[in-house]
Copies of this chain bind each other. A is one copy, B any other.
Protein backbone atom coordinates (compact mmCIF):
# COMPACT_ATOMS: atom_id res chain seq x y z
CA UNK A 1 0.00 0.00 0.00
CA UNK A 2 1.43 3.39 -0.87
CA UNK A 3 1.69 5.92 1.92
CA UNK A 4 -1.10 8.10 0.56
CA UNK A 5 -3.54 5.20 0.49
CA UNK A 6 -6.09 4.95 3.26
CA UNK A 7 -6.93 1.71 5.01
CA UNK A 8 -10.31 0.58 3.65
CA UNK A 9 -10.83 -2.21 6.16
CA UNK A 10 -13.69 -0.42 8.00
CA UNK A 11 -15.64 -0.91 4.76
CA UNK A 12 -14.61 -4.48 4.00
CA UNK A 13 -14.03 -5.87 7.50
CA UNK A 14 -16.51 -3.93 9.67
CA UNK A 15 -17.32 -5.26 13.14
CA UNK A 16 -20.67 -3.44 13.13
CA UNK A 17 -23.01 -2.03 10.51
CA UNK A 18 -25.84 0.49 10.88
CA UNK A 19 -28.48 1.07 8.24
CA UNK A 20 -29.95 4.56 8.09
CA UNK A 21 -33.28 4.27 6.32
CA UNK A 22 -34.01 0.70 7.40
CA UNK A 23 -37.62 -0.16 6.53
CA UNK A 24 -40.41 -2.65 7.12
CA UNK A 25 -41.65 -2.22 3.52
CA UNK A 26 -40.36 -5.07 1.29
CA UNK A 27 -40.53 -2.81 -1.77
CA UNK A 28 -37.94 -0.40 -0.30
CA UNK A 29 -34.20 -0.85 -0.50
CA UNK A 30 -34.05 -0.12 3.22
CA UNK A 31 -35.79 -3.46 3.60
CA UNK A 32 -33.96 -5.37 0.85
CA UNK A 33 -30.45 -4.37 1.92
CA UNK A 34 -31.17 -5.30 5.52
CA UNK A 35 -32.60 -8.62 4.29
CA UNK A 36 -29.41 -9.25 2.31
CA UNK A 37 -27.19 -8.49 5.27
CA UNK A 38 -29.19 -10.78 7.57
CA UNK A 39 -29.75 -13.56 5.04
CA UNK A 40 -26.06 -13.78 4.25
CA UNK A 41 -25.27 -14.20 7.96
CA UNK A 42 -23.12 -11.11 8.51
CA UNK A 43 -20.69 -11.85 11.32
CA UNK A 44 -20.84 -8.45 13.04
CA UNK A 45 -23.59 -6.49 14.74
CA UNK A 46 -26.45 -4.89 12.79
CA UNK A 47 -28.23 -1.71 13.85
CA UNK A 48 -31.29 -0.67 11.80
CA UNK A 49 -32.03 3.05 12.15
CA UNK A 50 -35.38 4.71 11.52
CA UNK A 51 -37.18 7.20 13.83
CA UNK A 52 -40.58 5.78 12.83
CA UNK A 53 -40.03 2.05 13.37
CA UNK A 54 -39.63 -0.02 16.51
CA UNK A 55 -38.78 -3.42 15.17
CA UNK A 56 -37.81 -5.00 11.84
CA UNK A 57 -37.99 -8.76 12.07
CA UNK A 58 -36.66 -9.45 15.50
CA UNK A 59 -34.21 -6.55 15.47
CA UNK A 60 -34.56 -3.46 17.62
CA UNK A 61 -34.69 -0.31 15.49
CA UNK A 62 -32.82 2.77 16.77
CA UNK A 63 -34.18 6.29 16.35
CA UNK A 64 -30.76 7.69 15.49
CA UNK A 65 -27.08 6.79 15.37
CA UNK A 66 -26.48 8.41 18.73
CA UNK A 67 -28.76 5.84 20.37
CA UNK A 68 -26.63 2.94 19.16
CA UNK A 69 -24.77 1.54 22.20
CA UNK A 70 -21.38 1.05 20.49
CA UNK A 71 -19.19 2.70 17.89
CA UNK A 72 -20.10 1.74 14.35
CA UNK A 73 -17.54 0.84 11.67
CA UNK A 74 -19.80 1.12 8.64
CA UNK A 75 -23.05 2.96 8.00
CA UNK A 76 -25.28 2.22 5.03
CA UNK A 77 -27.37 5.22 3.97
CA UNK A 78 -30.61 4.71 2.02
CA UNK A 79 -32.22 8.15 2.31
CA UNK A 80 -33.11 10.92 -0.16
CA UNK A 81 -30.03 12.75 -1.51
CA UNK A 82 -30.83 16.10 0.10
CA UNK A 83 -30.78 14.57 3.58
CA UNK A 84 -27.49 12.71 3.14
CA UNK A 85 -25.02 15.49 4.14
CA UNK A 86 -26.88 15.76 7.43
CA UNK A 87 -26.59 12.02 7.98
CA UNK A 88 -22.88 12.12 7.20
CA UNK A 89 -22.55 14.92 9.78
CA UNK A 90 -24.33 12.63 12.26
CA UNK A 91 -21.91 9.80 11.36
CA UNK A 92 -18.89 12.01 12.00
CA UNK A 93 -20.30 13.11 15.35
CA UNK A 94 -20.68 9.47 16.35
CA UNK A 95 -17.16 8.43 15.28
CA UNK A 96 -18.39 6.24 12.43
CA UNK A 97 -15.41 5.08 10.38
CA UNK A 98 -17.02 4.64 6.97
CA UNK A 99 -20.26 5.00 5.05
CA UNK A 100 -21.85 3.57 1.92
CA UNK A 101 -24.14 6.13 0.31
CA UNK A 102 -26.58 4.01 -1.68
CA UNK A 103 -28.77 7.01 -2.58
CA UNK A 104 -28.70 8.48 -6.11
CA UNK A 105 -29.50 12.06 -7.03
CA UNK A 106 -25.98 13.55 -6.86
CA UNK A 107 -23.43 14.49 -9.49
CA UNK A 108 -25.03 12.18 -12.08
CA UNK A 109 -28.13 14.42 -12.16
CA UNK A 110 -26.48 17.79 -12.80
CA UNK A 111 -25.21 20.94 -11.08
CA UNK A 112 -27.29 20.85 -7.93
CA UNK A 113 -26.52 17.21 -7.29
CA UNK A 114 -22.84 17.94 -7.82
CA UNK A 115 -22.96 20.66 -5.20
CA UNK A 116 -24.68 18.35 -2.75
CA UNK A 117 -22.05 15.71 -3.42
CA UNK A 118 -19.21 18.15 -2.79
CA UNK A 119 -20.76 19.22 0.49
CA UNK A 120 -21.13 15.64 1.63
CA UNK A 121 -17.53 14.68 0.80
CA UNK A 122 -16.21 17.77 2.57
CA UNK A 123 -17.95 16.75 5.77
CA UNK A 124 -16.78 13.14 5.49
CA UNK A 125 -13.15 14.02 4.80
CA UNK A 126 -13.03 16.60 7.55
CA UNK A 127 -14.32 13.93 9.92
CA UNK A 128 -11.78 11.38 8.66
CA UNK A 129 -14.53 9.15 7.37
CA UNK A 130 -14.34 6.90 4.32
CA UNK A 131 -17.18 7.20 1.83
CA UNK A 132 -18.33 4.67 -0.79
CA UNK A 133 -20.50 6.10 -3.59
CA UNK A 134 -22.86 7.88 -3.68
CA UNK A 135 -25.11 6.24 -6.29
CA UNK A 136 -23.70 2.81 -5.48
CA UNK A 137 -25.28 -0.64 -5.20
CA UNK A 138 -23.10 -1.47 -2.24
CA UNK A 139 -20.37 -3.73 -0.99
CA UNK A 140 -19.76 -7.45 -0.46
CA UNK A 141 -17.06 -9.01 1.67
CA UNK A 142 -16.63 -12.74 2.15
CA UNK A 143 -14.39 -12.56 5.24
CA UNK A 144 -17.19 -11.08 7.37
CA UNK A 145 -20.09 -12.46 5.26
CA UNK A 146 -21.29 -8.95 4.54
CA UNK A 147 -23.72 -8.59 1.66
CA UNK A 148 -24.66 -4.90 1.85
CA UNK A 149 -26.12 -4.94 -1.64
CA UNK A 150 -29.20 -3.51 -3.33
CA UNK A 151 -30.12 -6.60 -5.37
CA UNK A 152 -31.06 -9.71 -3.41
CA UNK A 153 -27.94 -11.78 -4.07
CA UNK A 154 -25.93 -14.19 -1.96
CA UNK A 155 -22.49 -14.25 -3.57
CA UNK A 156 -20.42 -17.40 -3.25
CA UNK A 157 -17.33 -16.76 -1.10
CA UNK A 158 -14.03 -17.18 -2.91
CA UNK A 159 -10.91 -15.51 -4.23
CA UNK A 160 -12.03 -13.11 -6.95
CA UNK A 161 -12.38 -9.41 -6.09
CA UNK A 162 -14.35 -7.03 -8.24
CA UNK A 163 -14.52 -3.25 -8.57
CA UNK A 164 -17.41 -2.10 -10.72
CA UNK A 165 -18.20 1.38 -11.96
CA UNK A 166 -21.70 0.09 -12.64
CA UNK A 167 -23.77 -1.31 -9.82
CA UNK A 168 -26.03 -3.45 -11.97
CA UNK A 169 -23.21 -4.90 -14.05
CA UNK A 170 -21.18 -5.56 -10.93
CA UNK A 171 -23.93 -7.22 -8.94
CA UNK A 172 -24.96 -9.19 -12.00
CA UNK A 173 -21.40 -10.49 -12.31
CA UNK A 174 -21.62 -11.56 -8.66
CA UNK A 175 -24.91 -13.36 -9.26
CA UNK A 176 -23.89 -14.88 -12.53
CA UNK A 177 -20.46 -15.94 -11.30
CA UNK A 178 -21.90 -17.49 -8.14
CA UNK A 179 -24.40 -19.43 -10.28
CA UNK A 180 -21.39 -20.94 -12.09
CA UNK A 181 -19.48 -21.73 -8.93
CA UNK A 182 -17.09 -18.78 -9.05
CA UNK A 183 -16.39 -17.40 -5.58
CA UNK A 184 -15.77 -13.79 -4.63
CA UNK A 185 -13.65 -12.26 -1.90
CA UNK A 186 -14.59 -8.59 -2.09
CA UNK A 187 -16.84 -6.43 -4.23
CA UNK A 188 -17.55 -2.76 -4.46
CA UNK A 189 -19.91 -0.84 -6.68
CA UNK A 190 -17.86 2.36 -6.74
CA UNK A 191 -20.74 4.65 -7.75
CA UNK A 192 -19.86 8.30 -8.33
CA UNK A 193 -16.52 7.85 -6.53
CA UNK A 194 -16.98 11.15 -4.73
CA UNK A 195 -14.45 10.09 -2.10
CA UNK A 196 -12.84 6.71 -2.73
CA UNK A 197 -11.71 6.20 -6.33
CA UNK A 198 -11.25 3.05 -8.40
CA UNK A 199 -7.49 3.42 -7.92
CA UNK A 200 -7.78 3.39 -4.16
CA UNK A 201 -9.88 0.22 -4.25
CA UNK A 202 -7.34 -1.33 -6.64
CA UNK A 203 -4.49 -0.61 -4.26
CA UNK A 204 -6.42 -2.01 -1.34
CA UNK A 205 -7.32 -5.24 -3.18
CA UNK A 206 -3.70 -5.53 -4.33
CA UNK A 207 -2.57 -5.80 -0.71
CA UNK A 208 -5.44 -8.07 0.33
CA UNK A 209 -4.15 -11.68 0.49
CA UNK A 210 -7.65 -13.12 0.03
CA UNK A 211 -8.03 -11.38 -3.36
CA UNK A 212 -6.17 -13.59 -5.85
CA UNK A 213 -7.53 -12.03 -9.03
CA UNK A 214 -8.87 -8.48 -9.44
CA UNK A 215 -11.65 -7.64 -11.90
CA UNK A 216 -12.52 -4.11 -12.93
CA UNK A 217 -15.54 -2.94 -14.90
CA UNK A 218 -14.31 0.43 -16.08
CA UNK A 219 -16.19 3.32 -17.66
CA UNK A 220 -13.83 6.20 -16.98
CA UNK A 221 -10.85 7.30 -14.88
CA UNK A 222 -9.63 10.60 -13.53
CA UNK A 223 -5.97 9.70 -13.09
CA UNK A 224 -4.82 7.84 -16.18
CA UNK A 225 -1.09 8.08 -15.57
CA UNK A 226 -1.27 6.88 -11.97
CA UNK A 227 -3.54 4.06 -13.11
CA UNK A 228 -0.81 2.72 -15.41
CA UNK A 229 1.79 2.87 -12.62
CA UNK A 230 -0.46 1.23 -10.06
CA UNK A 231 -1.61 -1.64 -12.28
CA UNK A 232 1.94 -2.23 -13.49
CA UNK A 233 2.95 -2.76 -9.89
CA UNK A 234 -0.06 -4.91 -8.99
CA UNK A 235 0.17 -7.24 -11.96
CA UNK A 236 3.48 -8.61 -10.72
CA UNK A 237 1.54 -9.97 -7.74
CA UNK A 238 -1.85 -10.80 -9.21
CA UNK A 239 -3.67 -10.38 -12.51
CA UNK A 240 -5.89 -7.33 -13.06
CA UNK A 241 -8.65 -8.08 -15.57
CA UNK A 242 -10.44 -5.11 -17.08
CA UNK A 243 -13.57 -4.71 -19.15
CA UNK A 244 -13.57 -1.23 -20.64
CA UNK A 245 -17.05 0.08 -21.42
CA UNK A 246 -18.06 3.38 -23.00
CA UNK A 247 -15.89 2.70 -26.03
CA UNK A 248 -18.33 4.18 -28.53
CA UNK A 249 -19.81 7.66 -28.85
CA UNK A 250 -23.22 6.35 -27.80
CA UNK A 251 -21.71 4.44 -24.89
CA UNK A 252 -19.68 7.41 -23.68
CA UNK A 253 -22.80 9.57 -23.78
CA UNK A 254 -24.70 7.04 -21.72
CA UNK A 255 -21.83 6.79 -19.22
CA UNK A 256 -21.85 10.53 -18.71
CA UNK A 257 -25.46 10.58 -17.61
CA UNK A 258 -24.94 7.44 -15.58
CA UNK A 259 -22.02 8.10 -13.27
CA UNK A 260 -21.16 11.65 -14.21
CA UNK A 261 -17.75 10.59 -15.51
CA UNK A 262 -16.20 11.72 -18.75
CA UNK A 263 -15.28 8.54 -20.53
CA UNK A 264 -12.38 10.02 -22.47
CA UNK A 265 -10.79 8.82 -25.67
CA UNK A 266 -11.03 5.12 -26.34
CA UNK A 267 -7.57 5.05 -27.89
CA UNK A 268 -5.96 6.59 -24.82
CA UNK A 269 -7.65 3.97 -22.61
CA UNK A 270 -6.61 1.16 -24.91
CA UNK A 271 -3.02 2.31 -24.79
CA UNK A 272 -3.09 2.79 -21.03
CA UNK A 273 -4.56 -0.66 -20.36
CA UNK A 274 -2.01 -2.28 -22.66
CA UNK A 275 0.87 -0.37 -21.12
CA UNK A 276 -0.26 -1.26 -17.61
CA UNK A 277 -0.09 -5.00 -18.29
CA UNK A 278 -3.74 -5.46 -17.32
CA UNK A 279 -5.66 -8.20 -19.12
CA UNK A 280 -8.48 -6.83 -21.20
CA UNK A 281 -11.68 -8.87 -21.42
CA UNK A 282 -13.57 -8.59 -24.69
CA UNK A 283 -17.00 -9.14 -23.11
CA UNK A 284 -18.40 -8.50 -19.64
CA UNK A 285 -18.89 -12.17 -18.80
CA UNK A 286 -15.48 -12.82 -20.34
CA UNK A 287 -14.04 -11.29 -17.15
CA UNK A 288 -15.30 -14.32 -15.24
CA UNK A 289 -13.88 -16.75 -17.82
CA UNK A 290 -10.48 -15.12 -17.45
CA UNK A 291 -10.78 -15.04 -13.67
CA UNK A 292 -11.23 -18.82 -13.34
CA UNK A 293 -8.46 -19.37 -15.86
CA UNK A 294 -6.00 -17.36 -13.77
CA UNK A 295 -7.25 -18.95 -10.56
CA UNK A 296 -6.91 -22.57 -11.58
CA UNK A 297 -4.70 -22.97 -14.66
CA UNK A 298 -0.89 -23.02 -14.63
CA UNK A 299 0.39 -20.15 -16.82
CA UNK A 300 1.26 -21.42 -20.33
CA UNK A 301 5.00 -21.13 -21.01
CA UNK A 302 4.51 -20.86 -24.75
CA UNK A 303 1.76 -20.46 -27.34
CA UNK A 304 1.72 -23.99 -28.76
CA UNK A 305 -1.64 -25.68 -28.22
CA UNK A 306 -2.50 -29.36 -28.43
CA UNK A 307 -6.17 -29.96 -29.21
CA UNK A 308 -7.95 -33.16 -28.17
CA UNK A 309 -11.59 -33.44 -29.14
CA UNK A 310 -14.40 -35.91 -29.32
CA UNK A 311 -14.99 -35.15 -32.97
CA UNK A 312 -13.67 -33.44 -36.06
CA UNK A 313 -15.79 -30.29 -36.06
CA UNK A 314 -14.63 -29.30 -32.60
CA UNK A 315 -11.06 -29.67 -33.87
CA UNK A 316 -11.73 -27.38 -36.82
CA UNK A 317 -13.29 -24.63 -34.72
CA UNK A 318 -10.69 -25.00 -31.95
CA UNK A 319 -7.94 -24.63 -34.57
CA UNK A 320 -9.62 -21.57 -36.06
CA UNK A 321 -10.03 -20.06 -32.61
CA UNK A 322 -6.40 -20.67 -31.64
CA UNK A 323 -4.98 -19.20 -34.82
CA UNK A 324 -7.26 -16.16 -34.65
CA UNK A 325 -6.20 -15.63 -31.02
CA UNK A 326 -2.52 -15.75 -31.99
CA UNK A 327 -1.86 -19.27 -30.74
CA UNK A 328 -0.04 -21.98 -32.66
CA UNK A 329 -1.39 -25.49 -33.39
CA UNK A 330 1.85 -27.34 -34.17
CA UNK A 331 2.06 -30.84 -35.66
CA UNK A 332 2.42 -33.66 -33.14
CA UNK A 333 5.86 -35.11 -32.54
CA UNK A 334 6.30 -38.51 -34.28
CA UNK A 335 6.64 -40.32 -30.94
CA UNK A 336 3.31 -38.83 -29.81
CA UNK A 337 1.61 -40.03 -32.99
CA UNK A 338 3.10 -43.47 -32.41
CA UNK A 339 1.84 -43.53 -28.83
CA UNK A 340 -1.69 -42.52 -29.80
CA UNK A 341 -1.64 -45.10 -32.62
CA UNK A 342 -1.69 -47.66 -29.82
CA UNK A 343 -4.79 -46.08 -28.30
CA UNK A 344 -7.15 -45.04 -31.08
CA UNK A 345 -8.65 -46.82 -34.11
CA UNK A 346 -6.45 -46.72 -37.23
CA UNK A 347 -8.57 -43.98 -38.81
CA UNK A 348 -7.82 -41.34 -36.14
CA UNK A 349 -6.57 -37.96 -37.37
CA UNK A 350 -2.88 -38.84 -36.74
CA UNK A 351 -2.11 -35.20 -36.07
CA UNK A 352 -3.06 -32.13 -34.09
CA UNK A 353 -6.04 -31.73 -33.45
CA UNK A 354 -6.38 -35.24 -32.07
CA UNK A 355 -9.85 -36.51 -32.95
CA UNK A 356 -11.06 -39.25 -30.59
CA UNK A 357 -13.45 -40.25 -33.41
CA UNK A 358 -16.41 -40.52 -31.08
CA UNK A 359 -14.76 -43.22 -29.00
CA UNK A 360 -16.88 -44.07 -25.99
CA UNK A 361 -14.11 -45.97 -24.17
CA UNK A 362 -13.39 -43.89 -21.07
CA UNK A 363 -10.08 -45.72 -20.50
CA UNK A 364 -8.52 -44.31 -23.64
CA UNK A 365 -9.38 -40.67 -23.01
CA UNK A 366 -7.02 -40.07 -20.06
CA UNK A 367 -4.19 -41.85 -21.84
CA UNK A 368 -4.64 -39.76 -24.98
CA UNK A 369 -4.75 -36.54 -22.94
CA UNK A 370 -1.55 -37.50 -21.18
CA UNK A 371 0.20 -38.45 -24.42
CA UNK A 372 -0.43 -34.90 -25.67
CA UNK A 373 0.20 -33.16 -22.33
CA UNK A 374 3.68 -34.61 -21.94
CA UNK A 375 4.86 -33.68 -25.45
CA UNK A 376 7.69 -31.15 -25.37
CA UNK A 377 6.44 -28.96 -28.20
CA UNK A 378 3.00 -28.48 -26.58
CA UNK A 379 2.50 -25.72 -23.96
CA UNK A 380 -1.23 -25.95 -23.36
CA UNK A 381 -4.20 -28.20 -24.14
CA UNK A 382 -7.76 -27.62 -25.25
CA UNK A 383 -9.99 -30.62 -24.53
CA UNK A 384 -13.46 -30.53 -26.02
CA UNK A 385 -16.44 -32.84 -25.84
CA UNK A 386 -15.43 -34.64 -22.65
CA UNK A 387 -18.05 -32.97 -20.49
CA UNK A 388 -21.61 -33.23 -21.61
CA UNK A 389 -24.66 -31.08 -20.99
CA UNK A 390 -27.69 -32.47 -19.21
CA UNK A 391 -29.62 -32.82 -22.48
CA UNK A 392 -27.08 -35.36 -23.72
CA UNK A 393 -27.88 -38.74 -22.32
CA UNK A 394 -31.48 -37.93 -21.53
CA UNK A 395 -32.88 -40.27 -24.16
CA UNK A 396 -30.81 -43.19 -22.96
CA UNK A 397 -31.77 -42.59 -19.35
CA UNK A 398 -35.41 -42.33 -20.31
CA UNK A 399 -35.26 -45.68 -22.02
CA UNK A 400 -33.19 -47.36 -19.36
CA UNK A 401 -35.52 -46.10 -16.66
CA UNK A 402 -38.37 -47.74 -18.50
CA UNK A 403 -36.44 -50.96 -19.00
CA UNK A 404 -34.78 -50.87 -15.61
CA UNK A 405 -31.32 -51.84 -16.87
CA UNK A 406 -27.98 -50.56 -18.19
CA UNK A 407 -25.62 -47.91 -16.79
CA UNK A 408 -26.88 -45.76 -13.97
CA UNK A 409 -28.62 -42.44 -14.31
CA UNK A 410 -25.56 -40.75 -12.85
CA UNK A 411 -23.43 -41.87 -15.77
CA UNK A 412 -22.85 -38.35 -17.08
CA UNK A 413 -22.03 -37.00 -13.63
CA UNK A 414 -19.68 -39.79 -12.62
CA UNK A 415 -17.80 -39.87 -15.92
CA UNK A 416 -17.49 -36.08 -15.77
CA UNK A 417 -16.00 -36.27 -12.30
CA UNK A 418 -13.50 -38.92 -13.42
CA UNK A 419 -12.22 -37.08 -16.47
CA UNK A 420 -12.09 -33.74 -14.67
CA UNK A 421 -9.89 -35.27 -11.97
CA UNK A 422 -7.64 -36.70 -14.66
CA UNK A 423 -7.28 -33.21 -16.12
CA UNK A 424 -6.48 -31.68 -12.73
CA UNK A 425 -3.82 -34.31 -12.07
CA UNK A 426 -2.25 -33.86 -15.51
CA UNK A 427 -2.11 -30.09 -14.95
CA UNK A 428 -0.36 -30.57 -11.62
CA UNK A 429 2.01 -33.19 -13.06
CA UNK A 430 3.09 -31.35 -16.24
CA UNK A 431 2.40 -27.75 -15.14
CA UNK A 432 0.57 -27.06 -18.37
CA UNK A 433 -2.95 -25.63 -18.60
CA UNK A 434 -5.72 -27.92 -19.83
CA UNK A 435 -8.79 -25.97 -20.81
CA UNK A 436 -11.94 -27.98 -21.11
CA UNK A 437 -14.86 -26.94 -23.27
CA UNK A 438 -18.29 -28.15 -22.27
CA UNK A 439 -20.34 -26.83 -25.16
CA UNK A 440 -23.15 -26.22 -22.70
CA UNK A 441 -23.81 -23.01 -20.78
CA UNK A 442 -25.67 -24.83 -18.04
CA UNK A 443 -24.24 -23.21 -14.89
CA UNK A 444 -24.86 -26.41 -12.93
CA UNK A 445 -22.46 -28.34 -15.15
CA UNK A 446 -19.82 -25.62 -15.05
CA UNK A 447 -20.16 -25.48 -11.27
CA UNK A 448 -19.58 -29.23 -10.86
CA UNK A 449 -16.42 -29.03 -12.91
CA UNK A 450 -15.11 -25.93 -11.12
CA UNK A 451 -15.36 -27.75 -7.82
CA UNK A 452 -12.38 -29.82 -8.94
CA UNK A 453 -10.51 -26.59 -9.75
CA UNK A 454 -10.78 -27.16 -13.48
CA UNK A 455 -12.09 -24.21 -15.50
CA UNK A 456 -14.72 -25.23 -18.04
CA UNK A 457 -15.85 -22.92 -20.82
CA UNK A 458 -18.93 -23.13 -22.91
CA UNK A 459 -17.28 -22.23 -26.22
CA UNK A 460 -14.06 -23.11 -28.02
CA UNK A 461 -13.53 -19.44 -28.83
CA UNK A 462 -13.42 -18.60 -25.12
CA UNK A 463 -10.93 -21.38 -24.39
CA UNK A 464 -8.52 -20.03 -27.00
CA UNK A 465 -8.98 -16.44 -25.84
CA UNK A 466 -8.26 -17.32 -22.21
CA UNK A 467 -5.10 -19.25 -23.13
CA UNK A 468 -3.88 -16.44 -25.39
CA UNK A 469 -4.39 -13.81 -22.69
CA UNK A 470 -2.75 -15.93 -20.01
CA UNK A 471 0.24 -16.44 -22.30
CA UNK A 472 0.45 -12.68 -22.88
CA UNK A 473 0.34 -12.06 -19.13
CA UNK A 474 3.09 -14.59 -18.58
CA UNK A 475 5.26 -12.89 -21.20
CA UNK A 476 4.67 -9.51 -19.56
CA UNK A 477 5.81 -10.88 -16.21
CA UNK A 478 9.25 -11.67 -17.55
CA UNK A 479 9.81 -8.08 -18.58
Contacts and interface: CB of A to CB of B under 8 A. Distances in A.
Contacts of A57: 403
Contacts of A389: 172, 175-176, 179
Contact of A284 (B137, B346, B442, B459): B459
A442 B177 CA distance: 11
A164 B167 CA distance: 41
B323 A361 contact: no
Contacts of A153: 391-392, 394-395
B313 A167 contact: yes
Nearest to A217: B313
Contacts of A164: 313
A358 B108 CA distance: 15
A153 B314 CA distance: 18
B154 A394 contact: yes
A71 to B, nearest CB: 27
A310 B172 CA distance: 11
Interface in A6-47: 26-27, 29, 32, 35-36, 38-40
B248 A168 contact: no
A333 interface: no
A85 interface: no
Given A104-B347, A319-B251, A347-B109, A147 B395 contact: yes
B166 A249 contact: no
A183 interface: no
Contacts of A172: 385, 389, 439
A179 B391 contact: yes
Interface in A421-456: 439-443
Contacts of A40: 395
Contacts of A36: 395-396
A313 B179 contact: no
Interface stretch (A125-133, A203-211, A349-357): A349-357
A334 interface: no
Interface stretch (A227-235, A253-261, A365-373): A253-261
Contacts of A38: 399
A26 B406 contact: yes
Interface in A384-407: 385, 388-400, 403, 406-407
Greatest chain B CB density within 10 A among A165, A255, A310 is at: A255
A60 to B, nearest CB: 16
B323 A251 contact: yes
Nearest to A174: B391
A214 interface: no
A251 B317 contact: yes
A271 interface: no
B246 A316 contact: yes
A315 interface: yes
A339 to B, nearest CB: 18
Contacts of A268: none
B169 A313 contact: yes
Interface string A298-322: 0000000001011111111111101
Nearest to A358: B150
B406 A315 contact: no
A313 B171 CA distance: 11
Contact of A392 (B105, B151, B315, B322): B151
The 5 closest A-B pairs by CB, nearest first: A166-B313, A258-B312, A168-B311, A251-B320, A248-B323
Interface of A: 26-27, 29, 32, 35-36, 38-40, 57, 104-105, 108-109, 113, 137, 147, 150-154, 164-170, 172, 175-176, 178-179, 217, 219, 245-251, 253-255, 257-259, 283-285, 307, 309-320, 322-324, 329, 346-347, 349-351, 353, 355, 357-358, 360-361, 385, 388-400, 403, 406-407, 439-443, 458-461
